[in-house]
Structure 1
Amino acid sequence: MDRRDFLAGAGLLAVAPTASSAARGVDWGAVRREFRLDPALTNLGLFYLASNPREVRDAVDEFRRRLDSNSHDLMPEEAREVAVALGQYVGGAADDIAFVPNTTIGLSIVYGGLKLRAGQELLLNDQDHAWHQQAARLAAGRVGANVRVGTLFENPAKATEDEIATRLRNSITPRTRAVGITWVQSSTGVRMPVRACASVVAEANRGRAREDRCLLVVDGVHGLAAVDDDAARMGADVFVAGTHKWLFGPRGTGMVWVNPEVSDQIVPLLPSLSDRSPTALLGPGGFHAFEQYYAVRAAVRFHQRRDPRSRRPHAARRLGLRGHGVLRRSRPHRPRAGGTVAAEKHPDHHGVVPHPVRAGRHVDPQHPGGDRPDCAGDQRAGSLIRGSSAVPGGSSRTLVFSICT
């Protein structure tokens, strides 16, 4: 069995063309030209540091010009507008948003500020990013709490909502103060059933005192703008995500959303520039690259304008991949959990021709010479796939994307 047959058999490779992008009359060629991408590459590795579209680059330049002309004016109204845009985008409110530089810092602020006592525990799973786990361990170690790492599914290709929910239910104890999960796992491609996990956590909270309430914390960086769902309406208590990946936002920007019902359970770790709400106070203060922060609104606007019927069109439509027969994203199946692995196929080519890589290691297209740093020691199979594909007109493209199975 070759790699392509294996992926297709596992339900991870979906390459049939669709017409969803063509139906709206969008000029996807024009959309692609908004990005400074190497035309010789069909780069599906933008989950790392996304290329910024022209609209975002122009916004950064404009805010930089304004700050250069009057550095004393930090334009606080712009920060409010970014919070409004992000709040609407995730289905929440501006006052539920805090600005952070990235997901790692956001998770560290959340776990570090959680009202956690000695003897309580933070429950994570073995497919959460290493820095997610480390953020929890650092916070727990400061107060004498524990971090417990479990396994929520046996096989990512066969994971089901029922399996995940049952394992989570059996793992939560009266000492569990927070459950951390990853919406879309970078290590497996599994899209975690957040709503099912939220139901389990809500069940565990029945009869608990407020100070013992278990919170559901979601690392959502690979789901924000890639999954067509409202992050603030899935039942989580906290949602953390960088905005520099699928949202195509400026580098060094991110967000924390906190359910206002639990905002009193997380206290600020650092002085903040904003006192508009308890959640806004979580954002670290001091001087930042404000032109980057303010331009996040342009990234949201870029997405919304290309699909006026939806305030949150997902990444496949925005990039026009579907209209080119390039990508069909796995949808969540019940009882199976959804996947997010992508592949490309053009009509006149029989498939991707991958170069072989070492088995038993994760490899990332941004680290072509070696392993992805967060996966050191992990023995699950992974591959960097580089192949060539003929496209209409006789030209060719190199495909670059990663897959972790």
Structure 2
Amino acid sequence: MSPSVIKHPNTNTQAISWNQIREQFNLNPEYTHLGASQFICSHPKVVREAIQHYAQLLDANPVMNTLALENDEMQKVREAAARYLQIDNPDNIALTDSTTMGMGLTYTALNLQPGQEILTTEHDHYSQHEAIRQAIKRTGASCRTIRMYERINHVTEEEIVESVVRGIGPNTRVLGITWVHSSTGLKTPVAQIAQAVAAVNRHRNEADRVLLLVDGVHGFGIERETFADLGCDFFITSGHKWLYGPRGTGLVAATSAAWQRVSPIIPSYTEAMDVIIEEDERPEHMDGKQMTPGGFHSLEHRWALRAAFEFMEGLGRERVCERVHQLNRQCKEGLAAMPHVTLHTPLSDALSSGITSFEVRGYNTDEVIERLKEQKVVATKAPYRHYNYARFTPGIFNTEEEVERGLAAVRSLA
């Protein structure tokens, strides 16, 4: 097929039932998959077909089809991401391989100075903490870590916002937080924090503004909020979790002003490369295209990310959000009713999303995971020192019956 006539499959799935959507995925029916959406996704049919299509083009004529497609297909992915996130300018999106890559690229690229500070929380993922550690080691800036709440079973949005704002000091230039914690499943009120940060910034000049950086991976693909709704400066995520996109994809979205506060650490292969080579000039303003790492990536996966956005748009943002919350509400309420189980995720939809974390009395987390696996139920473990919990993370390919199967397996551990 000529590169000029690439067609993506019809992804209008609004009228399709959840059971029909489940059929898009090649999941092993011998298992109840209650961990994949949060960990690493199974590709739906439309994504598999898009990957295969691009792979065939690259295999047939690697040089000509790469040269013909690379910039255009990458831009189509940015346009699809911008449409999904409701960002006006697609060029404000950098394409990466994962949330972790996005974290490392962004934190290390920040133009920080000695005496300036990154503020973060003790609840964030290893990837965020390590990216910050590496950034301050290189720049001479410092990091301060705060606690967002005292007790997860009594946490409120107000407590979280007040704790974070109270932590901002005169030297704080970056605030790094997580939208949905992969440890407890807590959903952070990012928009309210952004409003509070904006109030702080009204008394600062542009160079001293606090930048709000969000690890958004476990809200992205579930929650209703757009980039503008969240109000952050940097939004970092991957495509291979709740978006059900190609494995090894991700993005960093930022405002135009925020991009001016970073300097790339990996040369870009976008059009900026041609300008630099041919004219020995560099663009005056930074953007997401220049922050997209160059080199040859798994091109068929990156280009096929557009199919995942179209698939999720076909399902409908509201419909997906309601479904994932419905399944997780069933999960949380079922676990909370078991006397031998401690639920670590807030019951409120306002404070949780697609991750349900728990402990089972008499078992450590590894034992829980193994006992569930013996019953053909796949769960995951939160990789944290102080939040080492088992997790159920039902998504769009799961059913109410599967959630009940998972609950029955936990019930059997009493």
Question: Which TM-score bucket, shorter chain as reference?
Answer: 0.7 to 0.9
Separation in structure 1 between the aligned mates of residue 111 and residue 117 of structure 2, nearest angstrom: 11
Please state how far the C-alpha of 1:25 moved relative to its aligned partner. Answer: 5.0
- Residues 320, 278 of structure 1: alpha-carbon distance in 2 compared, 3 angstrom cutoff: closer
Task: Report Cα offsets for 1:164-206 as digits up to 9, x if no partner.
Answer: 1111121101100100000000011110000111112112212
Q: Count residues in correspondence.
A: 355
Note if 1:290 corresponds to 2:299. Answer: yes
CA distance in 2: counterparts of 1:244 and 1:401, whole angstroms: 27
Q: Which residue number corresponds to residue 250 of structure 1?
A: 246
Say if 1:401 and 1:292 are closer, same or farther in 2 by CA, change over 3 A.
Answer: farther
For residues 218-257 of structure 1, what are the alpha-carbon distances to aligned partners after superposition, in whole Å with 9 as ceiling and x for unaligned?
A: 0001010011221343110000001100000111100000
CA distance in 1, matches of 2:150, 2:244: 33
- Going from structure 1 to structure 2, the CA distance change for 1:59 and 1:108 (only over 3 Å counts) comes to same
Aligned ranges for residues 197-216 of structure 1 at < 5 Å?
Answer: 197-216=193-212
1:362 and 1:372 in contact (8 A); partners too: no
SS in 2 for 1:124: strand
CA distance in 1, matches of 2:242, 2:249: 12
Name the residue aligned to 1:180: 176
State the Cα distance separating 1:397 from its structure 2 match: 4.9
Deviation, 1:126, is 0.5
Distance in 1 (alpha carbons) for counterparts of 2:359 and 2:400: 11
1:79 corresponding residue in structure 2: 74
Q: Which one has a larger percent helix, Structure 1 or Structure 2? A: 2
| Residue number in structure 2 paired with 1:221 | 217
Separation of aligned partners in 1, 2:132 and 2:57: 39
8 A Cα contact 1:243 1:254, kept in partner: yes
CA distance in 2, matches of 1:196, 1:117: 28
Which residue is 2:383 aligned to? Answer: 374
Alignment counterpart, residue 363 of structure 2, candidates 346, 353, 357? 357
The correspondence for 2:149, drawn from 153, 156, 166, is 153
- Aligned partners of 1:239, 1:157: CA distance in 2, in Å? 28
TM-aligned CA distance change 1:201 to 1:34, over 3 Å: same
Q: Distance in 1 between matches of 2:207 and 2:269?
A: 28
Gaps of 5+ in 1: 1-23, 344-351
CA distance in 2, matches of 1:340, 1:272: 34
User: 2:296 aligns to what SS in structure 1?
Assistant: coil
Structure 1: distance between partners of 2:401 and 2:369: 25
CA distance in 2 between counterparts of 1:207 and 1:55 reads: 49
Matched position secondary structure for 1:57: helix
**Distance of aligned partners of 1:374 and 1:320 in 2 relative to their CA distance in 1, 3 Å threshold:** closer
Residue identity matched to 1:82: V
1:123 counterpart residue number: 119
Aligned CA distance change for structure 1 residues 400 and 356 (closer, same or farther; 3 Å): farther
- Is 1:47 aligned to 2:38, yes or no? yes
Which amino acid is the alignment partner of residue 306 of structure 1? L
SS of 2:251's equivalent?
Answer: strand
Whether the 8 Å contact between 1:103 and 1:221 is mirrored in structure 2 is yes
Q: Give structure 2 stretches of 5+ with no counterpart.
A: 1-13, 273-285, 334-345, 394-398
CA change 1:98–1:191 in 2 (3 A) is same
* 1:189 maps onto 2:180 in alignment: no
TM (normalized to structure 2)?
A: 0.76
State the distance in 2 between where 1:230 and 1:189 align: 20
**Deviation per CA, 1:48-87, whole angstroms, max 9, x where unpaired?**
0011101101100000001111211321211111000001
Cα offset, 1:26, TM superposition? 2.7
Quote how far apart the aligned CAs of 1:306 are. 2.7
Structure 1 residues 364 and 354: alpha-carbon distance in aligned structure 2, compared to 1, 3 A threshold: closer
Q: Among residues 51, 62, 65, which one is paired with 1:60 in the alignment?
A: 51
Q: Are the structure 2 counterparts of residues 390 and 90 from structure 1 closer, same or farther at C-alpha, using a change threshold of 3 Å?
A: closer
> Following superposition, which runs of at least 4 residues in structure 1 exceed 6 angstroms of deviation?
325-329, 352-355, 361-365, 367-371, 399-402
C-alpha distance in 1 between matches for 2:271 and 2:319: 31
| Cα contact 2:222–2:353 (8 A) shared by 1 | no
Structure 2 counterpart of 1:36, which letter? N
Compared with structure 1, are the counterparts of its residues 108 and 262 closer, same or farther at alpha carbon in structure 2 (3 Å cutoff)? same
When residues 137 and 368 of structure 1 are mapped into structure 2, their CA distance, relative to the original with a 3 A threshold, is farther
* Cα 1:247–1:170 shift into 2, 3 Å: same
Structure 1, residues 252-289: CA drift from partner, whole Å, max 9, x if none?
A: 10000001122211121110122476222111100100
Judge conservation of contact 2:73–2:303 (CA < 8 Å) in 1: yes
**In 1, distance between residues paired with 2:72 and 2:94?**
15
1:266 correspondence with 2:262: yes
Cα RMSD between the aligned structures?
3.6
Aligned to 1:383: 390
SS at match of 1:280: coil
| Residue deviations 1:282-323 (CA, integer Å, cap 9, x gap) | 11100100000001011111112233xx5x653563x8975x
Under a length normalisation based on structure 1, what TM-score does the superposition of the two structures give? 0.78
